[in-house]
Amino acid sequence: MKSILFLLSVVITFACNSQNTDVMEHQFTNDLIHETSPYLLQHAHNPVDWKPWNQDVLQQAKKENKLIIISVGYAACHWCHVMEHESFEDLAVAKVMNDDYISIKIDREERPDIDQVYMTAVQLMTGRGGWPLNVVALPDGRPIWGGTYYRKEHWIESLQQIARLHKEQPEKLVEFATNLEQGIQASETILPNEEKMEFEKQFINTQIDKWSTNFDHKKGGTRTAPKFMMPNNYHFLLRYAYQSQNDSLLSYVKTTLNQMSYGGVYDHVGGGFARYATDTKWHVPHFEKMLYDNAQLVSLYADAYLATKDEWYKTVVYETLSFVKRELTTEDGIFYSSLDADSLTPEGDLEEGVFYIWTTPELKSLLGKDFELFAAYYNINSYGLWEKENYVLIRNQSNIDFAQAHQIEMTTLLQKLSQWKTLLLEYRSKRNPPRLDDKSLTSWNALMLKGYLDAYRVFGDVEFLDIAIKNANFIKEKQLQNDSRLLHTYKNGKSAINGYLEDYATVIDSFIALYQNTFDPQWLDISNSLTTYALAHFYDTQKQLFYFTSDLDPKLITRAIEYSDNVIPASNSIMAKNLFLLSHYFDNTQFKDISKAMLHTIKPHINDYPMGYSNWLDLMLTLSDDFYEIVIVGKDAFEKTKELQNHYIPNKLVAGSLHNSEMPLLKLRYSHNETLIYTCVNNACKYPVENVNEAIKDITKNNLN
């Protein structure tokens, strides 16, 4: 602790007034010019001599005994752009960095493994994290100092002081690095759970009660700002509310879904969600739009529609998928990563949110006599005002309430909404668009693939299935290698970077869903092969969890295990659920045993912070309540499956075939003359029926008991 306080006192005591030098008068090129990541290419013309992360650069640092600056961000990150403009484009800053350091730029989306290690270090040092992430490390890569965004003067003075310390008292930095390394490794330690393995609904009830103390029942989400959507949290709570007949919890989930999609965090003109809201009423977003958020929110709102039949949720799904198709999808059916928070003003300056905001004069000019009604609907008033006379569109009423309050027919209101959106979208398309991160990530593509499949399952729109199959074939043909290894990125026709656990977990999850919607067994077979590969190269039999990186990857200072759910569920929690499902499909008891052991290992952590383990709680609900195998076999299997999917049954898996099959769930169940529905739970099957309603009646009766 003394060494930490000493180091921090050194780097923050002084402030300097370095002269701001206009970099635009010069032309620079560094080693990032050879990269494909849009984020790295954004820095390819900085005067800082940036280098990509690779073994040659790390060896260079050791050979020259130079400290390393590791700067991590991503293309859609607003404050990353701010620090670039203030510091990394500045000649005085570049001189300090180039003279005393080897500077490495990292796209966190390409290298989440590196990001995890140094984010943990910064969180241990400062108690918080975020992006841009800036770390100083010894020549061997061990971190000694870091944080997030720094103003130029603080950045320069800190780097100068650390470089001086490295020359005059290197042993102090080595001592600190050693202590911090031990702290990082300790933070990754997963202790075995010595308690008896048991999964009970009462445990889940207790966690929900604890979690609910932070619910915002008026505006939805949590009683804090900023507000993140956290789709997996509400997906689990929706399921739990349904299975436990908890009307109060269901009301909270609906409030959250309504307020998120009424808020400015939802793009009312073009569809899709921004990354998070900066306030408590979901009004002002951090304007970047990420593929992974929109993918999971499509799945969430689709199931919410199925559970509630609220037409607004259907609209959200369709508008979000329209946005994804229009702005984040290639002709080959591959999904891009994100849209930037910033775009160019008419004057040529990059500014956050400028693409999405509106002024009263331009709205009046566009809408004419409809302006007053539009202004009432989207709050072009003090409630919807952001800053500088700019408005972010936000609703505070349902369509039914608004129509009644303004004495307008619902059909007329819906027609006007459609006209307004078409008009404003066309007008907005003439503005300078946000910058696009056009790399494709396997894991995020799999999440979006799952989103399309969930939308198809609920709404039956064949276009959604076609898009999903097209993307699944991209993953199969480009990212999946002959040895069942996945690659992580795709750009300009080239696949690169050995896959992480998140790639395997999300692809397996989406391919299982693709099987359930097509009954094409190849997707289950690929899922089985990927799982076997992941067990061989990621799984630790002692910790009973999967590492984030493969044993084939170069070693970092620690090998991380991702186990707490965040804006994307933990790769381990997704894998645990995959193993459970595959254990049923392939009658593989080992898979089920591993799944249960993983959950048992994590169970003590859930007590500390239940909202950070919602996907684990979802698996626990599966294991502690009835879970149905629904098998439909015969010539009308697809038709009966579609009829079945009209009902919200979250505690099930589906298998089916139009013909005879040797799959364990299908074997000896085919009949030439009829299409039969088998419903099994806890290794006991009811007598097969032909009528979907009979099967649904039995399941619903059991779910309500």
What are 640-654's pLDDT values in tens digits? 999 999 999 999 999
What are 271-291's pLDDT values in tens digits? 999 999 999 999 999 999 999
Pairing state between β 440-441 and 342-344: unpaired
| Opening angle at CA 296, ends 621 and 332, nearest 5 | 135
Write out the E strands in 6-91.
67-73
Q: What is the pLDDT of residue 703?
A: 55
Look at residue 485 and give its three-state secondary structure.
Answer: coil
- Average the pLDDT over 543-559 and give the result: 95
What are 622-634's pLDDT values in tens digits? 999 999 999 999 9
- Average the pLDDT over 43-64 and give the result: 96
Residue (of 315, 282, 489, 506) closest to 399 by Cα position? 315
Please state at what angle helix 462-474 crosses helix 501-518, rounded to 10 degrees.
140
| Opening angle at CA 611, ends 115 and 133, nearest 5 | 20
- Average the pLDDT over 491-510 and give the result: 97
Is the model's pLDDT at 64 over the cut of 90? Answer: yes
Nearby residues of 320 by Cβ (< 8 Å), 6 or more positions away? 271, 272, 273, 294, 297, 298, 301
What are 429-479's pLDDT values in tens digits? 999 999 999 999 999 999 999 999 999 999 999 999 999 999 999 999 999
Strand order from edge to edge, sheet including 67-73 = 101-107, 67-73, 133-137, 143-147
The mean pLDDT of the chain is: 93
Question: Between 127 and 11, where is the model more confident?
Answer: 127
**CA dist., res. 177 & res. 587, Å (int):** 49
| Cβ atoms within 10 Å, residue 443 | 26
Cβ atoms 89, 23 nearer than 8 A: yes
What are 314-362's pLDDT values in tens digits? 999 999 999 999 999 999 999 999 999 999 999 988 899 999 999 999 9
Confidence of residue 668 (pLDDT cuts 50, 70, 90): confident
- Above pLDDT 90, what percent of the chain? 88
Is the model's pLDDT at 400 over the cut of 90? Answer: yes
Q: What is the pLDDT of residue 23?
A: 43
Q: What is the pLDDT of residue 46?
A: 97
Q: What is the pLDDT of residue 494?
A: 96
Look at residue 400 and give its three-state secondary structure.
Answer: helix
The DSSP code for 27 is: -
Q: What is the pLDDT of residue 672?
A: 85
Q: What is the pLDDT of residue 62?
A: 95
Confidence of residue 187 (pLDDT cuts 50, 70, 90): confident
Whether the ω angle into residue 226 lies within 30 degrees of 0, i.e. cis, is: yes
Report the sign of the C-alpha dihedral through residues 21, 23, 29, 35, in that order. positive
Confidence of residue 26 (pLDDT cuts 50, 70, 90): low
- Average the pLDDT over 168-189 and give the result: 90
Nearby residues of 555 by Cβ (< 8 Å), 6 or more positions away? none
Is the model's pLDDT at 15 over the cut of 60? Answer: no
- Above pLDDT 70, what percent of the chain? 96
- Average the pLDDT over 400-422 and give the result: 97
Is the model's pLDDT at 159 over the cut of 60? Answer: yes
Confidence of residue 21 (pLDDT cuts 50, 70, 90): very low
Confidence of residue 701 (pLDDT cuts 50, 70, 90): low
The DSSP code for 475 is: I
Residue (of 260, 257, 290, 262) closest to 275 by Cα position? 290
Is the model's pLDDT at 386 over the cut of 80? Answer: yes
Long-range contacts of 123-129 (CB under 8 A, 24+ apart): 124/180, 124/183, 124/184, 124/187, 125/4, 125/8, 125/180
Cβ atoms 190, 563 nearer than 8 A: yes
Is the model's pLDDT at 25 over the cut of 60? Answer: no
Please state at what angle helix 371-378 crosses helix 410-428, rounded to 10 degrees.
90
Q: What is the pLDDT of residue 180?
A: 92
Q: What is the pLDDT of residue 1?
A: 36
Residue (of 150, 101, 154, 144) closest to 121 by Cα position? 144
Backbone angles phi, psi at 607, to 5 degrees: -60, -30
Pairing state between β 684-685 and 676-681: antiparallel
